């Protein structure tokens, strides 16, 4: 089990709960941010290594703001219908990866990215 803290911020509460339950099987420190106002405080409070951020709700501008505030944070953007333009914009602004908000996709991205932090 990994010791990195992961914060999840999703538009849909059911999606957030499913992601949290799935990730909790691999990471013992999974936290849900309740709203945009709580997001930065939750990342700081839990000393998060990674953030799973709903791009449909937050948008690439939020990626940029969070990347500036937390430069070492591994940001995974989630979007149900991400296209190449959104992917490129989010990556340019500081996201490490973009995927659908499904446990296998998010877990694969976390394992890949957080392994770099552990090394």
pLDDT band at 2, cuts 50/70/90? low
- Tell me, what's the pLDDT at 1? 46
Inform me whether the pLDDT recorded for 14 exceeds 70: yes
Specify whether the CB–CB gap between 76 and 113 falls below 8 A.
yes
Give the pair of three-digit tokens for residue 51.
């953030």
Going across the sheet that includes 74-78, the strands are 27-32, 2-9, 50-54, 74-78, 97-99
**89-119: pLDDT as tens digits:** 999 999 999 999 999 999 999 998 877 655 5
């Amino acid at each position: 089990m990994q010791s990195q803290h992961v914060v999840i911020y999703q538009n849909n509460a059911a999606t957030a709960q499913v992601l949290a339950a799935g990730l909790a099987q691999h990471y013992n420190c999974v936290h849900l941010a309740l709203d945009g106002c709580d997001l930065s405080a939750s990342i700081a409070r839990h000393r998060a290594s990674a953030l799973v951020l709903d791009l449909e709700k937050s948008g690439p501008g939020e990626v940029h703001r969070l990347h500036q505030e937390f430069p070492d944070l591994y940001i995974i953007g989630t979007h149900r219908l991400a296209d190449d333009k959104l992917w490129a914009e989010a990556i340019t602004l500081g996201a490490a990866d973009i995927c659908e908000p499904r446990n296998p996709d998010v877990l694969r991205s976390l394992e890949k990215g957080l392994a770099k932090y552990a090394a």
